[in-house]
Amino acid sequence: MIELKNVSHTYKSSKTTALRDIELKVKVGEFVAIIGPNGSGKSTLAKMINGLLIPSKGQVFVDNSPTSEPNSLWKVRQKVGFLFQNPEAQIISSIVEEDIAFGPQNLGLSRKEIEKRIMQSLKAVSMTDFRYEEPHNLSSGQKQKIAIASVLALAPRYLVLDEPTSFLDPKSREEIIDLVMKLNKEQKVGVVLITHFIDEAIDADRIIVLHDGAIALDCPPKDLFFDIEKMRQLELPIPKWALLNYLLKKEGLDIEQDELGIKGLVSCLCSLI
């Protein structure tokens, strides 16, 4: 379990308080999406989870190992894979397989085990045909998949993704989110997804809304997307499908949308015909 206990953080350089009294638990196999307006502390929180930042106050634990203890930090980073916004920030080798092998090599694994992890990781992201390619020849979406494969090669229990689709086109964005959901469902990897594309949070188990560095809401997606006034209050962008659902209900149409998203709304409306 990932656990943040009374975590606050102030950046010394700017004296800006980015996080305030955060209490949060994420279980293995759970999918948690973290959203909020710019400057709400999302990226700071992400970096706390695998020890890239140590909180000014409070403690962060990963499977009972504190990130503040230097002796625990390597173990924490093995368990918590971290994905940056820009995949080029993580790709360090000139050949795809070398990039994926880098982490396992640093773990001191055998060549046989490294080979196994390269193949498993590439297969997991549907990139086996690109094993011997040069990363700079790949598209942004393909580079992000390779970055994910490199993280998976370390066999993490959790994935923290800090706005992983920010640099991608809509089609690549959808592919990356589908991939993350697949890893969560099939491999039971715990996922913490930081995103400013609010629709990417639809399929999460829980949504955490950060506002001014504090947790303003922790709830299932339905509780947020069907409360338009709450979304406005929290300065969140409102998906068109959620707004249409709200307006139709306001006009007296009796609809109960079970599946979130535009497809869910269309299905719901078709059932009324």
> What pLDDT is recorded for position 254?
79
Question: 255 and 126, same structural domain?
Answer: no
Question: 266 and 134, same structural domain?
Answer: no
Give me the number of domains the chain comprises: 2
* Intervals of the chain under pLDDT 50: none
Question: 37 and 25, same structural domain?
Answer: yes
CA distance 216 to 183: 28
Q: How many CB atoms are located within 10 Å of the residue 181 CB? A: 16
CA distance 262 to 123: 31
- Where in the sequence is the domain holding 49, given as residue range(s)? 2-236
Question: 258 and 175, same structural domain?
Answer: no
> What pLDDT is recorded for position 223?
95
pTM over 0.85: yes
> What pLDDT is recorded for position 12?
85
Question: 121 and 61, same structural domain?
Answer: yes
Residues 141/175, Cβ–Cβ less than 8 Å = yes
Token pair 């689709």 is found at 165
Question: 246 and 127, same structural domain?
Answer: no
* Residue type for position 233: Q
Question: 59 and 28, same structural domain?
Answer: yes
> What pLDDT is recorded for position 15?
78
CATH number of the domain that residue 15 is part of:
3.40.50.300
Q: How many CB atoms are located within 10 Å of the residue 270 CB? A: 8
> What pLDDT is recorded for position 220?
96
> What pLDDT is recorded for position 59?
97
Question: 179 and 244, same structural domain?
Answer: no
Question: 250 and 225, same structural domain?
Answer: no
> What pLDDT is recorded for position 135?
93
Length of the chain: 273
Question: 190 and 255, same structural domain?
Answer: no
**Alpha carbon distances (Å) from 74 to 151, 157, 229, 257:** 14, 14, 44, 45
Question: 216 and 248, same structural domain?
Answer: no
Question: CB within 8 A of 146, min separation 6: which ones?
Answer: 87, 91, 96, 99, 100, 125, 127, 130, 135, 138
CA distance 143 to 272: 44
φ, ψ for residue 37 (rounded to 5)? -65, 165
Question: 153 and 77, same structural domain?
Answer: yes
> What pLDDT is recorded for position 272?
78
